[in-house]
Amino acid sequence: MGTNKRYPHVYDKLMDQRILERIAREDGPLQSLTREELELDTEPVTRDPKPRAVKAWVRFGTTPVRVDAVVLEWTSQAVKIRFEVGGKTLETALWASAVRETRPRTQS
């Protein structure tokens, strides 16, 4: 069986989504930083009215996977993101170093 030479990126993305759905279903719960790790009692939280697109490393159980997400809020050390898996919207808090912007912000 061959591959689609005209639209390979479409099928690559579809396969990535199926793999992510399997990992989310079978490998354990989505991990998130604890309130103590976030230091919410001492760290100021910034919220963005226009969430920006990012790539982020998340863990389901002990399995790491990179997802497309948006940043909802952040502190100096952590970031809260939102992403979708199999039609479900998930949110988690991660260390800031696990997140990379997918496009640079433009100056207004």
- In terms of residue numbers, what domain contains 80? 8-101
Average pLDDT, the chain: 84
Q: What is the pTM of this model?
A: 0.76
16 vs 98: which has the higher pLDDT? 98
Beta bridge partners of 60: 30, 63
- How many degrees, rounded to 5, is the angle at CA 91 between CA 89 and CA 97? 135
- For a pLDDT cut of 70, what percent of the chain falls above it? 80
* Residue 2, in any domain of the structure: no
pLDDT digits (tens, 9 = 90+) for 5-56: 665 555 556 666 788 788 888 878 999 999 899 998 898 999 988 889 999 9
Total number of domains in the chain: 1
* Residue 27, in any domain of the structure: yes
* Residue 71, in any domain of the structure: yes
* Residue 84, in any domain of the structure: yes
Helix (H, G, I), strand (E, B) or coil at 93: strand
* Residue 49, in any domain of the structure: yes
Q: Half-sphere exposure of residue 70, counting CA atoms within 13 Å on the CB side?
A: 9
* Residue 62, in any domain of the structure: yes
The pLDDT value given to residue 45: 92
The pLDDT value given to residue 7: 55
- What does the H/E/C string look like for 23-66? HHHHCCCECCCCHHHHCCCCCCCEECCCCCEEEEEEEECCEEEE
Cα torsion 103, 93, 17, 106 to 10°: value is -10
Determine how β-strand 88-95 pairs with β-strand 78-85.
Answer: antiparallel
* Residue 3, in any domain of the structure: no
The pLDDT value given to residue 104: 58
